[in-house]
Amino acid sequence: MKVIMSGNEGIARGAYEAGVTVASAYPGTPSTEILENFAKNKEVYAEWAPNEKVALEVASGASIGGARSLTTMKHVGLNVAADPFFTMAYEGINGGFVVVTADDPGMHSSQNEQDNRYYAPHAKVALVEPSDSQECIDYMKEAYEISEKYDTVVLFRSTTRISHSKSVVELKERKNVGVKKYEKNVKKYVMIPAHSKQKHYEVEEKLEKLRQYSNSTFLNRIEMGDTKIGIITSGISYQYAREVFGDNASYLKIGFSYPLPDEKIKEFASKVEKLYIIEENDPYIETAVKAMGIKCTGKEVIPICDELNPDIIRKAILGEENKGEYETDIKAPSRPPVLCPGCPHRGIFYAVSKYKDVIATGDIGCYTLGMVAPLNVTDTVICMGASISAGLGMEKANQVAQRTDKKVFAFIGDSTFFHSGVTGLINSVYNNVPIVTCILDNRITAMTGHQENPGTGKTLQNKPAPIIDVEKIAIAVGVKKDNIRVVDPYNLAETEKAVKDAHDSSDPFVIITKQPCALKKDVVKARSGIKCVIDTEKCVKCKACLKTGCPALQYRDGVVSIDHNMCNGCGICMQVCKVNAITKVGE
């Protein structure tokens, strides 16, 4: 049967057809939809883990136990999971084990543009790269064969454009591989130094076998056309190069990219007059080709930053500009990111914004947008879970510099707190650092598309689960109950009182805001018809309500108004208005 699938759907389907039975992941764009789609299959177990390290460890245990297993994450997630990833490269597998890294060239939803192909030679594991949705299926199935044949973890690299683009695929039946027998083997699975020293020799032997495989596999193929131009490429760059050159060039398409097919590269290079390496981001292939002594052109003309596209390649190699076939007179309006209308994070940020002595360390999630005007609260964002730890460091720097006029607030979401924030809170309590930790509990993992987490009461496969209570965790790690405030961020008076108490405290302090994301389906349904309205006769145009940063509020032609299509009646603007010109209707 043929259907249209995105790359992420293809990866999920490939894992299903390969007989994978256990999968664990943490959501992160552009990888999220892989597990969401895989979890729909009744024959499998799929879960959201608290973070990528836990997810990779779960999949590792399943693999050692004999099951074909899968873990998926965005590129920065592999940084979190690197510790077990590197060790599993030494241990090897029992059931096939594939780690999906979804890279994000262009940083559409990421804090950096790292090229995770380098993880393969660094960890010494096999690397596979598909170029379209059909290859996501086919290459995923081959990845499990590679994993089990060569006793290795396989890193499967996608990118945003592959993950989210759709193309026609052919579906096949699931392979029933079952679960292999587990046999205790401490020399293989217990990595004490004496064992890991021997395993390193075995890993190097595997890599030599994988190099030989790389030169013979169908994943690496030569496509001969005009020999004046030869192109070595991989991933989505292959599709771009094909669009630009068609049969006016020859191609070495690399789908198995570590170890690289050295013999095939040399063979291909000998058949073409001018050799180009076309790849997004870092010169991963190019560096290896040049190390072989082969003359080629790559990053001298191909940009190292951002995504590639056919126009960039056409201009870089052929010197031709876009002919304008796709130009239009209509231009999309600029839409800078902003907290949604009715976002429960707005209340706490508005309350904190009144304090000009606050340094606010932020984190990864919707609440990163506390940095945006007019709130202008957030000072730093580093990585998942870093806000509390960075806040502690900021406070220590303030103490050393004797900056007594500054107060540190750390902002983190519920899912991110479970991911890697709790250790930062433990650190602040253990070292008695008087920062304020604001845990913004909107009952969901919102920014990546409303995935469940340990605080939502449901699993990925929609089964009931215990709700992990954030307040109880704070108490359990040593925060004094008198130094914890649980507030409704829609209640400004309550929120402002909590912020003042926290600001004035000389102990580690925690504020927990509890209000579900305004975009959750049940919330949208419950608040349907509830709106805020402005009495233009009472409005004095002081614009105080605009300082909340709600995009439903508008000021045009000297009139303040509320877009009722956007407003959900959260009431924050109504509480800010000093002349009672705003009221709520529909309750």
pLDDT tens track for 377-390: 999 999 999 999 99
- CATH topology for the 527-585 domain: Alpha-Beta Plaits (3.30.70)
Q: pLDDT band at residue 326, thresholds of 50, 70 and 90?
A: low
Of the CATH numbers 3.90.180.10, 3.40.1440.10, 3.40.50.920, 3.20.20.150, which one belongs to the domain with range 221-318?
3.40.50.920
Percent of the chain, pLDDT > 90? Answer: 97
Residue-level pLDDT at 283:
98
Residue-level pLDDT at 325:
63
Backbone angles phi, psi at 322, to 5 degrees: -60, 130
Whether the per-residue pLDDT at 313 is higher than 70: the answer is yes
Whether the per-residue pLDDT at 330 is higher than 90: the answer is no
> Which CATH code is given to the segment(s) 345-523?
3.40.50.970
> CATH 3.30.70.20 region(s) of the chain?
527-585
Residue-level pLDDT at 308:
96
Whether the per-residue pLDDT at 397 is higher than 80: the answer is yes
Q: Give residue-wise pLDDT tens across range 440-475.
A: 999 999 999 999 999 999 999 999 999 999 999 999
The residue type of 6 is: S
Q: Give residue-wise pLDDT tens across range 205-244.
A: 999 999 999 999 999 999 999 999 999 999 999 999 999 9
pTM of the model: 0.95
Query: Helix crossing, 133-150 with 7-17: angle to 10°?
Result: 40
> CATH 3.40.50.970 region(s) of the chain?
2-214, 345-523
Q: Assign domain 2-214 to its CATH superfamily.
A: Thiamin diphosphate (ThDP)-binding fold, Pyr/PP domains (3.40.50.970)
Q: Give residue-wise pLDDT tens across range 264-276.
A: 999 999 999 999 9
Cβ(94)–Cβ(64) below 8 Å: yes
Residue-level pLDDT at 250:
98
Residue-level pLDDT at 323:
67
> Tokens in use for 143?
């990845």
> Tokens in use for 397?
């720097």
Query: Please, is 411 exposed, middle or buried when counting C-beta atoms within 10 Å of its C-beta (0-12, 13-18, 19+)?
Result: buried
Task: Output the average pLDDT for the chain.
Answer: 96
Please tell me the distance from the alpha carbon of residue 346 to that of residue 382, in angstroms, as a whole number. 21
| Strand 582-585, strand 154-159: pairing | unpaired
> CATH 3.40.50.920 region(s) of the chain?
221-318
Query: Please, is 564 exposed, middle or buried when counting C-beta atoms within 10 Å of its C-beta (0-12, 13-18, 19+)?
Result: middle
Q: Give residue-wise pLDDT tens across range 533-550.
A: 999 999 999 999 999 999
Q: Give residue-wise pLDDT tens across range 121-131.
A: 999 999 999 99
Element (H, E) at 82: helix 82-91
Whether the per-residue pLDDT at 328 is higher than 90: the answer is no
Percent of the chain, pLDDT > 70? Answer: 99
